[in-house]
Structure 1
Amino acid sequence: MNLARLGEGLEPLMDRPIAVSAVFEDSGGIAEARDMAREFLASVQAVHGLPVSKRAMGMVQLVVSELVTNARKYAHGPCLLTLEVEGGAVQVSVWDSSTTLPSVQAADAQRVGQHGLEIVMAVCQSFAVHREPVGKRITATVVLADDPSGDAAGRQAM
C-alpha cells in the first residue's frame, strides 16, 4: 500500500463544512426541524468549540420553524432543510417544490397572522430566495455570537 497516496483527494476534517440536512414530509416535521436546529447548534458549540449565543439559538429555531412551516403549508411534497455554519454564522436553507416565490406583505399592525417572513427578515443578517430547476430555495443567515458590546447581531434598524 502506498501511504503517500492514502489521503490524496480527501479534505482535512477541519476544512470540511459543519452542516446537517434532513427531509420533512408532513406538518409534524416542523417540531422535528426545530429540534434538529437546536441539537445542531449545541453540537457546533460542544464539539467544534464555536460560540453560539442564546439569542442565536432562539433565532435559528424561529427561522427554521417559519421557513419549514411555509414550505409545508404552500408546497406539495417534501422540503429539505440544510443548516451550515460558515464564517461565524449559520445558513438556514429550505428547499421546496413550489415555484411560487414568497411575498412579504407591508408592515401592518392590524393584520392578524402572516408576519413570519417579516420576522425572519428582521432577525437575519441576510435573506435570499432563489429559483431552482425544480422549486425554490430560501436561505437566511443568522450570526452565531452577539456583538461584544451587547448589541444583537443581525440587521440594524434604519
Structure 2
Amino acid sequence: MELLMADRATEQDLQASGTGTVLGSAAYDMGSGEIARTRGFVRDFLTDARSLHGLPVSARAMDVAQLVVSELATNVCKYAPGPCLLDLEAGDSLLSITMWDTGSVLPTSRQADPTRMGQHGLEIVLAVCESFEVRREPVGKRVRVEISLLDGPQSEAAW
C-alpha cells in the first residue's frame, strides 16, 4: 500500500482485497482540527467504496459512519492526545471502524442522564452500531465497531 502524506496525517490509498473487502487506513497526530479530517476520510472512503467497488452504502450509513468516527476521534482528543490510527474495512454490507490510540483508560458507558452536559458520545456510538468492542493493547487501546452499510441496522428493517 502506498502512503500519502497530507498535513500531519498519513493516509493510505483505498485498497480492495481479493475477497471483495475494501480497506483504508489513516494515521493522525490528534488535535481538535483532526476530527474533521477523520470524518472526511470516512466520507471519501465510503464514496469510493460505493462508486469504484460497487458496495452498497446508504445515505444513513454515510452519516452514521461519520458521526461514529467523530465521536471516537473526539474521545481521543480529550483523553489520549497524540498519535491515532484509523482502519476501515467495508464488505458484506458492514463497515468495520477500528481506532487505536495511546490512552490506557477504557471507555465506559454512563447511566443515561438528559440533564448531563456532554459525555454522551459512547451512548451515541452504542445506539447506532451493530457491535462495539474495546481492548487494551501493549500501548493504549483499540476500539472496534461495526455499522450496517444498508438503510437500517442488520437486525431490523430499514427506517
2:124 matched residue in structure 1 = 119
Q: Aligned partners of 1:154, 1:71: CA distance in 2, in Å?
A: 28
Secondary structure of the structure 2 residue equivalent to 1:15 = coil
What is the aligned length? 140
Q: In structure 2, what residue type is equivalent to 1:107?
A: A
2:17, 2:23 within 8 Å by CA — same for their partners in 1? no
Q: In structure 2, what residue type is equivalent to 1:23?
A: A
- Percent of residue pairs bearing the same amino acid type: 49
2:26 is the alignment partner of 1:15 = no
TM-score by length of 2: 0.82
Residues 67-111 of structure 1: CA distance to partner in whole angstroms, max 9, x if unpaired? 011012101421111111132111111100111101211111111
1:69 matched residue in structure 2 = 74
Secondary structure of the structure 1 residue equivalent to 2:147 = strand
Extract structure 1 runs of 4+ deviating beyond 6 A.
none
Q: Aligned partners of 1:76, 1:127: CA distance in 2, in Å?
A: 22
2:95, 2:148 within 8 Å by CA — same for their partners in 1? yes
Unpaired segments ≥5 residues, structure 2:
1-15
Q: Aligned partners of 2:118, 2:73: CA distance in 1, in Å?
A: 16
Bigger Rg, which one: 1
Q: Aligned partners of 1:122, 1:13: CA distance in 2, in Å?
A: 30
Root-mean-square deviation (CA), in Å? Answer: 1.7
Q: Aligned partners of 1:155, 1:115: CA distance in 2, in Å?
A: 24
2:99 matched residue in structure 1 = 94
Q: In structure 2, what residue type is equivalent to 1:98?
A: G
1:3 matched residue in structure 2 = none
TM-score by length of 1: 0.83
Distance 1:43 1:102, change over 3 A: same
**By how many angstroms is 1:13 displaced?**
5.1
